[in-house]
Structure 1
Amino acid sequence: MDAGTAAVLGALAGSVATVGAALATGWAQREGARIAVRAEHRRERREPRLAAYKEFISVASAFRSESSPYTIPGLIPDDLEDEAADSISEAAAELKRSAMDVALAGPRRVSKDAIRIERLGNHLAISIRLFVHFAPQANAAIDEKLFQRMRRRGVVSLARKVNRAIDTFLLRAQAALDDDGSLGRR
């Protein structure tokens, strides 16, 4: 190979290397910008989620306090008053309002848990209302076995499910807030 051909090939190799380096640098810059935009988006989503989760946890904790006596059959008096049903119904309504904020904030798994808690709370409020309505009275003829079954399966079971669902929500909300997106979608 003569000196001229070597010089041309050397210049061509240098040009190809320069173009390759420029393409690699451009790709790396685009990926870096994409990562930065994704991180900013996650940060912007995290703050409203945190506020919605905190509010929901506060309301769910109040509901748990209101419904805790119903988790133990022996603590439920046979002659519950309408005020007890009204109180748990108000707490369930507040739970519903707060659950909608969480459902909109996402992500999907946390939203499902919040909606589940809201539905269970509503079912519990209805069960307590029915329990109060059908409570055995001196002049009423109601089957005592049916009444006790209503207490165990309707009220106690639902109250326990609400408590477990709130615990699950707490863990899922924490995981959603800790998620940096590096593990992919779940």
Structure 2
Amino acid sequence: MDQGLAAVLGAAVGAIATGGGAMITVRSASRLQRRQTRREVYQKFIDAAQNSDELQSRLTHPELEIGRDGVVAFRESIDSLRTLLPLVYLEGPDSVMVEAQKLVALGQQLVIVSMHHLLENWGQIDEALRRYSSVNGAESDRARAFERMGDAYHEALFDFVKTARSKA
């Protein structure tokens, strides 16, 4: 084989290998960036959800009188979760979004019951708890049903974290 042809072939092989290596590096960096962005979105959602969970645990225990400010703080924390839903939807698979939506929906139910409780609108509280209990099992005691909603909220947060972890 002629030395000139060998040099040209060697240069071509080197260029192909370099180009292939560069493509692999770019794809890998792109995947890493996407995974990092997803983790950041999930972390924001989890941080907001943990704040909500802490507030709801105080809210759903009748012995702790947290009053109007506590209910408002909880409602605001659920609102902040709701504003993060589009980011979770954009960054994650459907299974993660479903868990995030469950958590927000349950939080919104707790806000409604809490506001009625604050206003001592017992008929509306009983109706909201009845709707929740018809889906999640009968509960005759108002305080226990409210507490179970809080437990369900905590479980929904844990379900989101498990699902997000498996898809991150």
TM-score higher than 0.5 here?
A: yes
- Counterpart position of 1:10: none
Give the aligned partner of residue 151 of structure 1: 143
Contact 2:59–2:70 (CA under 8 A) maintained in structure 1: no
**Count of residue pairs the alignment pairs up:** 133
Q: How does 1:113-152 map to 2 (within 5 A)?
A: 113-134=99-120, 149-152=141-144
Partner of 1:46: 35
Aligned residues of 2:52 and 2:78 also touching (Cα < 8 A): yes
- Matched residues in 2 for 1:111 and 1:94: separation? 16
Provide the TM-score with structure 2 as the length reference: 0.66
Q: Which amino acid aligns with 1:53?
A: Y
Give the C-alpha shift of residue 38 in structure 1: 7.1
Aligned counterparts of 2:34 and 2:48: Cα–Cα separation in 1: 22
- Cα deviation for residue 133 of structure 1 reads 1.1
Cα gap change, 1:49 to 1:157, in 2 (>3 Å)? same
Query: Deviations 1:133-160 (Å, cap 9, x if unpaired)?
Result: 1268xxxxxx9xx9x844332x322211
Which structure has the greater CA radius of gyration? Answer: 1
* Residue 112 to residue 39, structure 1, CA distance change in 2 (3 Å): farther
Q: TM-score, normalised by structure 1?
A: 0.60
CA RMSD of aligned residues (A): 2.9
Contact 1:67-1:88 within 8 A present in 2 as well: yes
- SS state of the match for residue 43, structure 2? helix
Give the 5 Å matches for 1:26-65: 42-65=31-54
* Aligned mates of 1:38, 1:161 — CA distance in 2: 41
Structure 1 CA distance for aligned equivalents of residues 119 and 148 of structure 2 = 19
The alignment status of 1:69 with 2:58, answered yes or no, reads: yes
Q: In percent, how many aligned pairs have the same letter?
A: 23
How far apart in 2 are the matches of 1:42 and 1:108? Answer: 19
* Structure 1: gaps (5+ residues): 1-31, 137-142, 178-186
2:151 aligns with 160
Q: CA deviation at 1:57?
A: 0.7
Instruction: State the Cα distance separating 1:164 from its structure 2 match.
Output: 0.1
Q: Secondary structure at the match of 2:110?
A: helix
Name 1:104's counterpart in structure 2.
90
Distance 1:59 1:175 in 2: 20
- In 1, distance between residues paired with 2:112 and 2:60? 15
Contact 1:103 1:115 survives alignment (8 Å): no
**Cα distance in 1 between the residues matched to 2:152 and 2:45:** 17
Unaligned runs of 5+ in 2: 1-19, 131-139
